[in-house]
Amino acid sequence: MRPFVAILAIVALMASVSASAERPHDAQRGSLEAEIARLVAEEEAELGSFYAARDYRPAWEERQQVAAFAEALQTLESDGLDPQDYRADRLVAEHRRLHEAGAALGDQARFDLQASALLLTALRHLQRGRLDPRRVDPQWEIPVEPARLDPEAISRAVDGQRFEQAFGEARPAYAPYERLRSGLARYRNIERMGGWPSLPDQPRVLRLDDVDDAVGILRERLAMEGELEVMVADPSAFPRAELETPDLRRFDAPLEAAVVRFQRRHLLEADGVVGPQTRAAMNVAVAARIDQIRLNLERARWLLHGLPEAFVLVDIAGYRLSYFRPNGEIWRSRIVVGQPYRRTPSLRSEITHMTVNPTWTVPPTIMREDVLPAIRRDPGYLQRQNMRVLSPSGQRLDPRQIDWWSPGNVMIRQDPGPHNALGQVVIRFPNDHLVYLHDTPAQGLFAREQRAFSSGCIRVQGVLEFAQLLFDDTGSGHNVRALIEAGQTRNVSLARRMPVILHYWTVHPGEEGQLVFRPDVYDRDGTLLRALDRPLAL
């Protein structure tokens, strides 16, 4: 019995020693959790929710977790964000310093909160954008919704070191965003290979059948963006081989076709001729194109969340409208938008009704800058344009009795008809800028590649078809052509409102993976890029 008693005594002693060894650790853990709970009470609710989801357990005790998080932060470069803004290297160094120095609980808790806040910041930036669009664009009218983060899911991702998965779930879950990311990777690869060559200023124009050294440079330039079929073998590189190859210096038909494709991707007149505008677009450095993709990724993060099943998207810089119908089909059309000095705004609203056979009351700016000068030059202008002069109360006035150099508080209204500036139908939605979608008698402008000609409103090609689709898809039960033929000016409500978004993109991801670069007609890219490159204040 004595050996057995001795064994029991040894076991009891070992258990006592083990328990006494664990108690300080448990006590320290409990104290650290209490310190975290105390400090987080003074922080933002989002951080508090994260720690509440994990019962205030520290998130960053293990060196492997901090290292994995720092490594994941480097992947934000693929979203056009600067990993240096998130101080990944400092995070690892600070964690090492604290643990090697045996830091006090308060310092450990503060580090834990800082690392968690950094993770939540990165997730917010991926989901809703790094910048507040209202501070970048004073005319921004699209509601800015806060990020929606799941604290329990984020806590599990931290414990499992699944940071890149968490980043992936935070990104906008829409194909255009992924195409922009893929395009950014492709153009960065072009940059690593040395970029593309610049075309010389002379000759000023290159066209079909021209023979010039610049044609060889043109081939190389297009090939760098994927037009590989324009490259031909150089016979001098194979002196012993008998090769029948096109002259590198000759502007042939395949090269012309590639130039046309380039022009279409850059909203240039697609004539296959390399003139000043096409050459200027080709000579934009790859670094500038990378910046353009980066800032449009930021615009995508502002917009691509919480989109309804059916909505109308007006792509201002791309001069096109896309109607995402409830049945999954997409109706697309060309549009005309505001001139650079009468910009079409970015906004989000809902289409409520249409006006058929509209009259057009001349807005004050157009009255002052366009109509009054025309009347002063030509007294017959009003009659030819089917316009009448009205008092503020709507009483008709005799234009011959008006001093058009000082007309006072008068209105000018254009009657319905084929030459009305708004055409036959107007599609209306509430907004502070008083812009709308409408028909136009100036159909020839739709043939242009760049179409910034209006006074702020959006002219839509094929608007009658679009209006009928809106009536049909909202169960409104109207025939737009029958309403027009009735001849009366009439407001017709939709049975259900249709969301509409007006947004400005200078890079569009094409369906086949090619990026379409648009001219920055409103000069908005520079302001956004400067804000995006400003160091992040954390």
Which of 182-186, 279-283, 287-291, 513-517 has the lowest average pLDDT? Answer: 513-517
Could you please state the CATH topology (level 3) that the domain comprising 308-359+416-505 is classified under: L,D-transpeptidase catalytic domain-like (2.40.440)
Residue 185 has pLDDT above 60, yes or no: yes
Band the pLDDT of 244: cuts 50, 70, 90. low
- Segment 183-187 mean pLDDT: 96
Band the pLDDT of 20: cuts 50, 70, 90. very low
Retrieve residue 64's tokens. Answer: 């492997």
CATH (one of 2.60.98, 1.10.101, 2.60.40, 1.10.10) for 213-284 = 1.10.101
CA distances from 201 to 206, 229, 249, 489, 506 (A): 11, 25, 16, 56, 26
**Residue in the block written with tokens 């400092």:** 90
Band the pLDDT of 28: cuts 50, 70, 90. low
Amino acid at site 177:
Y
Q: Tell me the Cα Rg of the chain.
A: 32
- Segment 146-168 mean pLDDT: 95
CA distances from 442 to 418, 438, 447, 477 (A): 10, 12, 11, 29
> So what's the pLDDT on residue 239?
55
Contact 390, 383 (CB under 8 A): no
Which one, of 485, 522, 492, lies nearest residue 505 by Cα? 522
> So what's the pLDDT on residue 4?
41
Beta bridge mates, 8: none
Measured distance CA(201)–CA(208) in Å, rounded = 18
Measured distance CA(407)–CA(409) in Å, rounded = 7
Beta bridge mates, 491: 355
Over the chain, what is the mean pLDDT?
Answer: 89
> So what's the pLDDT on residue 192?
95
Cβ neighbors of 433 (< 8 A, separation 6 or more) are 139, 141, 345, 347, 456
* 3-state percent helix, strand, coil for the chain, nearest multiple of 5: 45, 15, 40
> So what's the pLDDT on residue 512?
72
Amino acid at site 212:
D
Beta bridge mates, 501: 313, 348
Contact 494, 352 (CB under 8 A): yes
Residue 72 has pLDDT above 90, yes or no: yes
What size, in residues, is the chain? 538
Rounded to two decimals, the pTM is: 0.84
> So what's the pLDDT on residue 525?
95
Question: Domain map of the chain by residue range?
Answer: 26-171, 213-284, 308-359+416-505
> So what's the pLDDT on residue 291?
97
pLDDT digits (tens, 9 = 90+) for 327-382: 999 999 999 999 998 899 999 999 999 999 999 999 888 899 889 999 999 988 99
Rounded to 10 degrees, the C-alpha dihedral 304/307/311/316 comes to: -20
- Segment 307-335 mean pLDDT: 95
